[in-house]
Each structure stands twice: as C-alpha cells, then as structure tokens.
Amino acid sequence: MRKKKKNIPHYGNVKAINYRAIYEEKFYDILGQLKLPLMMVIFVTMFGTLLFMIVNGPENAVNGLFHTVITISTIGYTEGYSENVALNRFISSIFVMFAFPLGYLYGLVKVLQVLTQSNMGEIYKYWRMYKLMENVQNHYIITPYNQITREIMADFRKRKIPFILIEQDESKRSKIAEEGYNYFIIDEPHKRAVLLGAFIERARGLITAHEENTQDLSVIVTARLIRPDKDNFYIFATATTEGSAEKMKLLGANEVIIPQSTIGKRIVSMVLHPPSPLVSNFLNKIAFGERTDIDITEIHISAESWIVGKALKDIHLRKNTLTTVVAIVKSGGKMDIAPSGDYVIKEGDTLLLLGKPENIEKAKKYLTNPEEV
C-alpha cells in the first residue's frame, strides 16, 4: 500500500475539532432514528396496496393505495372499492389489525415524536454558525465569558472586529446565546484541539481574562505553542499579581494587565487631575476607545518617504486627508507637541495623527503614495 506523506506541524499530531461536523453528525443521528419507523410505514403501505390489488384486480392499484393510506392514517373518508364489499371489508379488518399498530402507532407516531423532540432548529442554528465560522479570518479568540470580556466583545462588535468566544462552562450557554455573539464555542480553551477548532492558525490574537492565573497561563502556553511568532500573533492576558504577570510575559503573552493596579492608577490620576468635563473626558474616550469615531495613530517616517525634508505645512495633510498632526516623536524619543507648520520632517520621525478612522486610513495611504488619494 502506498503511504501518503503527512505534513505534521511542530505542535504534534493534534487534530482540530470540527464543530460543524459535530452538529452534522447530530442531524444524521436524527435521520438515523427515522429509518425504522419510515421503513415500517412504507412496508405496510406497499403490503396493503398489493393486498387490495390481489382482491380487486391489478387495474385497481390506485384505489388500493388510496384505501391503504386512509386506513393507516385513520382518516377513512370512504372505502376504496365498490364491488365484493363483504370480502373487501373482511380483508380490511384483518389488515387494520396489524397495519394500525405497525404503520400508525409505531411508524407515524414515532416519526412525529423524533421530529418534535429533536430540536432540529437548535441544531440548524449551531450548524449554520459553525459553517459561517469556517470563513472567519484575522479574528481574535476570547476566553472566558465574564465581565471583562463582555466589555471587550461589546466594543469589538461596535468596531466590527471578528472574534470567537470560548467558554468552558456549559451552564453559561443559554446566557451567551442570548447575547447574540456571532461565534462561540462551549469547550475547554486550554486544549490544542479546541484552539485549532477556533482557527487559531489564522487568528490575529488571543485574549484570556480568567479569574485564575493558572488558567490564563495554560491558555497562553497552549496558544503560544501553536503560534510561536510574537509579532504575528498577539496574546493579551490579565493577572492578579506582578509575579504572575511577569511569568505570563515570559511564557508568551505580549501584554498582561493587572486589573486591580490599573484601576488604582486610574483613580490616582483622577485625584491628581480632577476631571474637567470636556478635556479629560475627550482624552479618556480616545485613550480607552470609548469613541469609535475618533482615532489616534502613529506613523513612522522611513528614509524613502516622499515627505522627508519637507515642512509640515507643505505636505497639505489636513487639506487632503482631514487629519491633524498632534505631535511628532523624534528619533531620539523627544516629543514635540503641537508642532508648527514650519517643522521640517526628518527620517526616523513618528507622526501622531488624530482624526476619523477612515481619514486616518486615507492619510496612511497619502503618506506612502500621494497620487492614490
């Protein structure tokens, strides 16, 4: 036998869980349960038709079928024969004695029972979700379902960032379903097969925010084993202590946030700079992403850029793209806030741009290739 050479990835011989196939299998199981009752219905119908054909002659096949169907289904409009009434009635009585329990009580009732008790709608819903999930790309994998990740997901939805939620607690299923997330999986996030099933191989990043540091650690390590490149796959996590945050970073997390200390720092900053309703709210909203219509971004200027050596006012950024340079970070790290229009842009500078997201995209294009805009 010729053996196929298999391309085994570095993380071993683990196969991705195919969630769509699981629900397909459930659907086939229901069809499988229908086999015997349907067979019984067909058999009884065929037998009855043949029986009445024998009694009334083969030209009465359709009448025989009609008589059998209305007998099995207990509808019984009328008799399907006009001659030999006594003989036909006698045979009908015998026929009903076994056709009723077999065809009706077992066959039809069982079919109805399987169809009503099998929640086909639910199976179809999940099947459809996982079918659509197969096309997802550049998404984030988020685990588990709690207050922190709920905030993240609400925001991601607003910004149309695709994500897949993984939650291992089966009891939260109905709550998650109510939220109406596009994609979710109820399974253990620290298993390689589950992460592969959530298409981690083409995901952009992973967010893990468990209450327990150990759970976060196991998810981080598992994900990093599959996607070892830190620059192409971001892992964000939460930790309760500095020590575990450090460990998570060493084991592969890009950024680790300690919620308690972050909250503390924010309160201190509020105490030191009492919030003015306009300014600090505005900055907070940009910094914490509460406003989706304003964005701030940094653009690094390389040596080949056409704007090197030009004064800021001569590149007409505001006129052409409706974005503003709020600051310039020079190559030494010094920041020039609200630079003047006469500032000459140098190689290695970083421009901080403020504007609407679509205009910022436009500005990025404009700064690499001004003819396109």
Partner 1 sequence: MINWGKVWSDFFIFLALTSNIGFIFSHDPYQLVVAIGVNLIATVLKFGVKKILAAELLATAFVADLHLIPAAIFYFSNFHVELAIGLAIGAAVANIISIILLIVEVIFEYIKQEEENS
Name which position in 19, 45, 194, 217 contacts partner 1 (CB under 8 A). 45
Euclidean distance between CA atoms 181 and 139, whole angstroms: 13
Q: Which of 14, 16, 22, 43 binds partner 1 (CB under 8 A)?
A: 43
- Of 33-41, 92-100, 229-237, 287-295, the segment contacting partner 1 by CB under 8 A is 33-41
Nearer to partner 1, 46 or 267 (CB): 46
CB 80 within 8 A of CB 64: yes
Residue 171 sits at the vertex; the CA angle it makes with 166 and 174, to the nearest 5 degrees, is 80
CB nearer to partner 1: pick between 58 and 121: 58
Query: Could you tell me the smallest distance in angstroms from the CB atom of residue 2 to partner 1?
Result: 10
User: Which residue stretch of 30-38, 156-164, 204-212, 278-286 sits at the interface with partner 1 (rule: CB under 8 A)?
Assistant: 30-38
Q: Which of 2, 9, 1 is nearest to 201 (CA)?
A: 9
Could you say whether residue 109 binds partner 1 (CB under 8 A)? Answer: no
Q: How far is the CB of 81 from partner 1 (least distance, A)?
A: 15
What H or E segment, with its residue span, contains residue 184? strand 184-186
Task: Name the residue nearer to partner 1 (CB basis): 42 or 344.
Answer: 42
Report angle CA 213, 216, 218 to the nearest 5 degrees.
110
Report the C-alpha gap between 85 and 356 in whole angstroms. 87
C-beta of residue 256 within 8 angstroms of C-beta of residue 238: yes
* Number of residues counted as binding partner 1 (CB under 8 A): 25
Among 46, 87, 263, 287, binds partner 1 (CB under 8 A): 46
Interface with partner 1, residue 117, by CB under 8 A: no
Among 257, 220, 222, CA closest to 242: 257
**CA-closest candidate to residue 224, choices 211, 212, 237:** 237
Pairing outcome for strands 324-329 and 335-337: antiparallel
DSSP state of 103: I
Ranges within 61-100 binding partner 1 (CB under 8 A): 61-62
Q: Give the C-alpha distances (Å, rounded to integers) separating 65 from 58, 70, 208, 231, 370.
A: 11, 9, 64, 71, 79
Instruction: Report in angstroms how near the CB of residue 201 gets to partner 1 at its nearest.
Output: 25
Cβ atoms within 10 A of the Cβ of 99, count? 23
How many CA within 13 A on the CB side of residue 187? 20
Nearest to 230 by CA among 210, 259, 212, 250: 250
Q: Does 30 bind partner 1 (CB under 8 A)?
A: yes
Binder among 17, 20, 23, 49 for partner 1 (CB under 8 A)? 49
Out of 25, 122, 151, 242, the only residue in the binding site for partner 1 (CB under 8 A) is: 25
- The interface with partner 1 within residues 224-283 (CB under 8 A) comprises none
Q: Which of residues 1-20 bind partner 1 (CB under 8 A)?
A: 1, 3
Among 42, 105, 112, 263, binds partner 1 (CB under 8 A): 42
Taking CB under 8 A as the binding criterion, the range among 58-66, 69-77, 303-311, 347-355 that sits at the site for partner 1 is: 58-66
Binding site for partner 1 (CB under 8 A): 1, 3, 25, 28-35, 38-39, 42-43, 45-47, 49-50, 53, 58-59, 61-62
